[in-house]
């Protein structure tokens, strides 16, 4: 998974944004016969949302109500929008969960697919569709309208962090003294340090488990 953004100003204006999943640019689209490779997104609100929801995106798996699809975006469509759970708090639960997991929650008026990230066992699931995009004209069509992949967490976290670091550094250079950008950089650095510590601990636990499993049968103290 990879992302690309090209900021031209420190103001939260619409800028080109691409999201690549297994070699496919899921932001590629055609509108009124014109081919476009990117959506225009408000980068600062998007980056603030990514940093704020870093842990849920990479570590929260459980859906708020019944699983009604093979992927998170499928379950969201089948429960939240089909109103099949009107007798309970399902809709409210989905709204809160959606706000932590869907890039559309930070679209700030952009026309973008529903892209949902969540933990799935020891992987991160990225699922998306374009069945319902508020405000989208009928002439808008995405080249990869639906899909889903499950990737090792590092293959999602590291490309996102790389793009965030690079773009925030460029914005900081253009807008020296911006408290908003500086806070994002500080928070991102803390999250990356936390992820490195967790990966290191996970690696040590796997090595320990491997050594334990290799002990001779009946050996209690070796």
What integer pLDDT is reported at residue 1 of this predicted model? 76
Global pTM reads: 0.78
Instruction: Give residue 13's pLDDT band: very low, low, confident or very high (50, 70, 90).
Output: low
**Which residues are 35's β-sheet partners?**
30
pLDDT band at 25 (very low <50, low <70, confident <90, very high): very high
What number is the average pLDDT over the span 94-101? 87
Q: Which residue has the higher pLDDT, 122 or 213?
A: 122
Query: Mean pLDDT, to the nearest integer, of 98-124?
Result: 88
Domain boundaries, the chain: 2-209
Both structure tokens of 14: 């619409």
CA–CA gap between residue 123 and residue 191 (Å, rounded): 18
pLDDT tens figures, 148-185: 999 999 999 999 999 999 989 988 888 888 999 999 99
Q: What is the pLDDT of residue 208?
A: 38
**pLDDT tier at 124, thresholds 50, 70, 90:** very high
């Amino acid at each position: 998974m990879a992302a690309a953004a090209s900021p031209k100003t420190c103001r939260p204006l619409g800028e080109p944004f691409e999201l690549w999943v297994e070699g496919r640019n899921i932001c590629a689209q055609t509108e009124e016969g014109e081919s476009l490779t990117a959506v225009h997104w408000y980068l600062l609100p998007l980056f603030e949302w990514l940093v704020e929801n870093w842990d849920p995106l990479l570590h929260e798996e459980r859906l708020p109500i019944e699983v009604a699809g093979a992927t998170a975006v499928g379950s969201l469509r089948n429960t939240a929008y089909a109103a099949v759970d009107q007798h309970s708090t399902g809709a409210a639960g989905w709204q809160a969960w959606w706000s932590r997991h869907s890039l559309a929650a930070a679209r700030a008026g952009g026309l973008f697919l529903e892209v949902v990230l969540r933990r799935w066992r020891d992987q991160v699931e990225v699922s998306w569709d374009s069945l319902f995009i508020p405000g989208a004209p009928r002439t808008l069509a995405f080249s990869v309208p639906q899909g889903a992949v499950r990737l090792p967490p590092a293959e999602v976290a590291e490309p996102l962090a790389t793009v965030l670091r690079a773009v925030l550094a460029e914005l900081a250079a253009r807008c020296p003294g911006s408290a908003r950008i500086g806070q994002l950089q500080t928070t991102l650095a803390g999250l990356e340090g936390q992820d490195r510590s967790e990966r290191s601990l996970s690696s040590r636990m796997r090595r320990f488990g491997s050594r334990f499993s290799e002990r001779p049968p009946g050996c209690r103290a070796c």
